[in-house]
């Protein structure tokens, strides 16, 4: 016989569960954003682009380079930031900015002030951010969007859980198959004439402005024919259904941008004498260090990007339909040398086998990634640890960036002695270079969307090789080796002396995180 009190308790609990389920469903599925018009964007015509100041500069720079694109590497964080500020000030018609995340700090506040100033003088500003990367920034972005010449859109958005990262992750759970995928693209296009592609998001740690730790990163400046397809890639994302106006999720008064601009102006004035901004002014005045854009290398360029609908695909796509697949096809087989520079390196079983085959066939294969002590994601490092011995046995050279370096250099890391690698680049033989947003890991191949440029230019390849050689120096990195007994060692240099560690450098919690990353079923998701 059923106990009526017990039965009543079950019924009450059932009603509560039903009510909570209904509430959750309404929050996750029924909380549509405020109706906001969503205009279709279009490319600037060649004539419109060429009529701008930047367009004329590009035309003069490429006058004797018919059909070729120009390229320059930008490794200095301060120079990378200064160039973005300069482009914001020099643009006449349009600034298109695509980024995975936007932080709050010195560099972001100054850039937002400059973007509003550009909008005030009639420049059309369009900012596209991955929704996860916009967590906690909704009201400020909505205020920015309220300017008549500014549009802000978020990619792969959710209507709830937008104020905190924890809330966003919990709200993602019912759509986990799609919400673990990110728009990881980074693009900065000015007047359809000049584009920056690479690893840098919007945040102090990407521009050597963070204390105590910064990312060592790399941009590729491009001009000429390759810019048009990069602009086209931006528009494909901008016009895709996954890109939604920020106003559908965060409300702002029509004139909210005025208050935002006023607060940014006050903040910039109050911080004008900060060491970072003082260094920037000195950088502009120091003509002996050369221009922000160094020597241009010329050659053929191929813009590569993932289809914008990739985050909504079911399951894992065929390799040929991804940017990684197109990169493999266009780059061709290395015959002499392959260098991989990647913040996160997870080659997997097939990638490891391919790299081993190349090394055993006589191709010089080098990998430069983060050490355990330097990485910001020890879980990913664990998946790399599993493949390390097999790579070393086949002759692949492994270098791992240290967390603390003994010198700073404008050509590679800096702003502080603590750094982590964030570069994503390939060097193939002595004439091909790829720089972009993807890491050498399954997440970049299968789950995220990415963008990059493959350049055929011996001069650019030589510059990247010199940069990598600096990064691999013992004062900055470990060389990982394996002896006849299979034991690993980490060789580096401290105070001018060669030092060898028999245990991988890194603290307890990092080791624990890496141990979790060695779980086999996690590898395809990292």
Is residue 186 annotated as part of the catalytic site, yes or no?
A: yes
Q: Which tens digits make up the pLDDT trace of 181-212?
A: 999 999 999 999 999 999 999 999 999 998 87
Q: Which candidate in 96, 191, 204, 219 is catalytic?
A: 191
pLDDT of residue 23 exceeding 70: no
Angle 75-76-77 from CA coordinates, rounded to 5°: 110
Is residue 145 annotated as part of the catalytic site, yes or no?
A: no
Q: Which tens digits make up the pLDDT trace of 82-132?
A: 999 999 999 999 999 999 999 999 999 999 999 999 999 999 999 999 998
CA 282 → CA 66, 90, 275, distances in Å? Answer: 36, 20, 10
DSSP-derived 3-state class of residue 478: strand
Distance in angstroms (rounded) separating the CA atoms of residues 518 and 516: 5
Is residue 68 annotated as part of the catalytic site, yes or no?
A: no
Is residue 191 annotated as part of the catalytic site, yes or no?
A: yes
The confidence score (pLDDT) of residue 291 equals: 57
Distance in angstroms (rounded) separating the CA atoms of residues 150 and 144: 7
pLDDT of residue 7 exceeding 60: no
Q: Which candidate in 96, 422, 441, 472 is catalytic?
A: 422
Reported as a pLDDT band with limits 50, 70 and 90, residue 33 is low
Reported as a pLDDT band with limits 50, 70 and 90, residue 253 is very high
The confidence score (pLDDT) of residue 476 equals: 92
Reported as a pLDDT band with limits 50, 70 and 90, residue 39 is confident
Question: Span 336-360, mean pLDDT?
Answer: 96
DSSP-derived 3-state class of residue 428: strand
Residue 98 dihedral angles phi and psi, to the nearest 5°: -125, 130
Which residues are within 8 A (CB) of 304 and not within 5 positions of it... i.e. 6 or more apart?
Answer: 323, 326, 327, 330, 436, 451, 452, 453, 454
The confidence score (pLDDT) of residue 211 equals: 81
Reported as a pLDDT band with limits 50, 70 and 90, residue 27 is very low
Residues paired with residue 124 on neighbouring β-strands, in sequence order: 94
C-alpha of 392 from chain center: 28
Task: Tell me if 456 sits within 8 A of 432, measured CB to CB.
Answer: yes
Distance in angstroms (rounded) separating the CA atoms of residues 109 and 103: 9
Q: Which candidate in 131, 219, 306, 429 is catalytic?
A: 429
The confidence score (pLDDT) of residue 172 equals: 74
Q: Which candidate in 147, 186, 250, 472 is catalytic?
A: 186
Radius of gyration of the chain (CA): 24
**What kind and span of H or E run contains 54?**
helix 53-61
Q: Which tens digits make up the pLDDT trace of 404-414?
A: 865 544 445 43
Structure tokens that stand for 25 in this block: 């469903």
Task: Tell me if 448 sits within 8 A of 351, measured CB to CB.
Answer: no
Q: Which candidate in 79, 92, 147, 184 is catalytic?
A: 184
The predicted model scores a pTM of: 0.89
DSSP-derived 3-state class of residue 525: helix
Which of the listed ranges 13-22, 53-62, 132-141, 453-462 does the model predict with the highest average pLDDT?
Answer: 453-462
C-alpha of 116 from chain center: 23
pLDDT of residue 284 exceeding 70: no
């Amino acid at each position: 016989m059923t106990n009526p009190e017990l039965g009543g308790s079950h019924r009450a609990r059932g009603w509560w569960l039903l009510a909570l389920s209904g509430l959750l469903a309404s929050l996750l599925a029924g909380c549509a954003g405020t109706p906001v018009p969503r205009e279709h964007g279009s490319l600037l015509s060649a004539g419109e682009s060429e009529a701008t100041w930047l367009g004329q500069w590009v035309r003069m720079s490429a006058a004797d380079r018919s059909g070729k694109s120009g390229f320059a590497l930008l490794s200095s964080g301060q120079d990378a930031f200064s160039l973005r500020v300069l482009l914001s000030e020099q643009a006449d018609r349009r600034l298109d900015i695509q980024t995975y995340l936007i932080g709050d700090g010195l560099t972001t506040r100054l850039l937002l002030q400059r973007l509003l100033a550009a909008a005030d003088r009639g420049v059309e500003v369009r900012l596209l951010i991955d929704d996860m990367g916009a967590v906690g920034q909704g009201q400020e972005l909505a205020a920015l969007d309220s300017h008549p010449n500014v549009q802000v859109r978020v990619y792969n958005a959710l209507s709830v859980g937008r104020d905190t990262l924890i809330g966003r992750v919990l709200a993602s759970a019912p759509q986990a198959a799609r919400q673990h995928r990110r728009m990881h693209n980074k693009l900065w296009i000015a007047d359809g004439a000049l584009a920056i592609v690479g690893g840098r998001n919007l945040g102090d740690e990407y521009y050597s402005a963070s204390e105590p730790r910064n990312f060592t990163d790399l941009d590729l400046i491009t001009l000429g024919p390759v810019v048009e397809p990069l602009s086209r890639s931006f528009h494909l994302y901008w016009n895709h259904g996954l890109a939604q106006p920020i106003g559908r999720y965060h409300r702002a008064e029509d004139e909210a941008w005025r208050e935002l601009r006023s607060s940014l102006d006050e903040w910039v004035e109050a911080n004008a004498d900060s060491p970072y901004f003082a260094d920037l002014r000195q950088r502009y005045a120091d003509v002996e260090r050369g221009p922000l854009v160094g020597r241009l290398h010329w050659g053929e360029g191929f813009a590569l990007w993932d289809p914008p609908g990739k985050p909504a695909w079911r399951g894992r796509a065929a390799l040929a339909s991804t940017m990684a697949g197109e990169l493999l096809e266009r780059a061709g087989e290395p015959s002499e040398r392959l260098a991989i520079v990647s913040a996160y390196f997870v080659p997997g079983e097939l990638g490891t086998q391919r790299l081993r085959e190349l090394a055993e066939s006589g191709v010089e294969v080098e990998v430069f990634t983060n050490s355990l002590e330097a990485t910001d994601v020890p879980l990913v490092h664990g998946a790399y640890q599993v493949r390390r011995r097999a790579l070393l046995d086949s002759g692949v050279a492994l270098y791992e960036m240290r967390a603390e370096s003994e010198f700073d250099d404008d050509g590679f890391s800096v702003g502080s002695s603590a750094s982590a690698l964030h570069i994503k680049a390939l060097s193939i033989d002595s004439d091909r270079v790829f720089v972009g947003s993807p890491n050498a890991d399954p997440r970049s191949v299968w789950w995220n969307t990415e963008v990059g440029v493959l350049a055929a230019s011996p001069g650019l390849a030589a510059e990247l090789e010199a940069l990598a050689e600096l990064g691999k120096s013992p004062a900055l990195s470990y060389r990982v080796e394996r002896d006849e007994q299979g034991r690993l060692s980490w060789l580096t240099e401290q105070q001018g002396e060669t030092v060898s560690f028999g245990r991988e450098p890194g603290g307890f919690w990092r080791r624990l995180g890496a141990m979790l990353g060695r779980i086999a079923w996690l590898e395809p998701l990292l």
